[in-house]
Amino acid sequence: MATEILLVMFSSLLLGFRHGVDWDHIAAITDLVGFETKAKQGMFLATMYSFGHGFVILVLGLAAVQIGKEVPGWLDSVMEKAVAATLILLGSWMGVTLIRRWNGFVLQSKWSIAFEALRRLKYAISAKLLKKDIKYAASGEKIVGKTGAFIVGVIHGFGAETPTQILLLSTASGMGTILLGGSVVLSFVLGLIFSTSLIALLAVIGFMKARVRLSIYRLFGSLAAVYSIGLGIYILVKV
């Protein structure tokens, strides 16, 4: 019995690693680390993303053990569409920014672009309500911090129930007890964190090298925008 449990946990660890290299995770991690000038900060943001995603999986897995059910289909569908729409809109905006600032292009996370857009909206609403001209000051700081990266991970945790995640929930719900089911889920989360950390490391190295030449940097920005839009469209069509 003990051997069987260890085999299930090891399989769950491998599933978590496989889940971490799904396309939506690669896109999100690339977004988060792409605009960082410091490798350590980029790795930290990617780690917070994986913690946010792992937290959702842990909660869903324990719930699956407790009630023996998977995530409601309607919630999964809604969150997938939300993720897809965000990828398309922000990928398009990154493309527009690339064209408008061709000579001085600085690659930004699509999530930082989204938060900056919210700041602009806040300024516009404030000016409308107060009926005064309020000068907009663009944020000079990086907008996506550890909390933002964690939230992005949470969103993707709900919005990407891939076959590996479904298999995890099904396996966890069949373990019978919170202790055994929780161990299976935790193994999955550890595998996820390991693979996302590896992706983040490769992304950080790639972007650091790309900054040496502006032309390569532009290419990275273009590929990131096209990839994001393409993935968003694919998710919408699949849903």
pLDDT of residue 136: 44
Q: What stretches in the chain show pLDDT beneath 70?
A: 1-2, 4-5, 23-24, 34-37, 64-76, 79, 83, 86, 90, 97, 101-119, 122-123, 126-144, 158-178, 207-217, 220-221, 239
Structural domain span for residue 113: 2-238
**Residue carrying structure tokens 């790309």:** 210
Global pTM reads 0.57
Longest dimension (CA), the chain: 72
**Rounded distance, CA 28 to CA 156, Å?**
9
Q: Where are the alpha helices (DSSP H) in 160-213?
A: 163-173, 178-210
Q: Where are the alpha helices (DSSP H) in 35-72?
A: 39-67
* 45 contact partners, CB below 8 Å, separation of at least 6: 32, 33, 36, 144, 145, 146, 149
How many distinct structural domains can be found in the chain?
1
**Cβ-contact 34, 210 below 8 angstroms:** no
pLDDT of residue 105: 53
**Cβ-contact 50, 203 below 8 angstroms:** no
**Rounded distance, CA 235 to CA 59, Å?**
24
Within 13 Å, how many C-alpha atoms sit on residue 203's CB side?
31
**Cβ-contact 80, 160 below 8 angstroms:** yes
Helix axes 178-210, 39-67, angle to 10 degrees: 160
**Cβ-contact 109, 34 below 8 angstroms:** yes
Counting every residue written for the chain, the total comes to 239
Write out pLDDT tens, residues 11-20. Answer: 778 777 877 7
CB-based burial, 94-117: b 16+ in 10 Å, e otherwise: bbebbeeeeeebebbbbbbbbebe
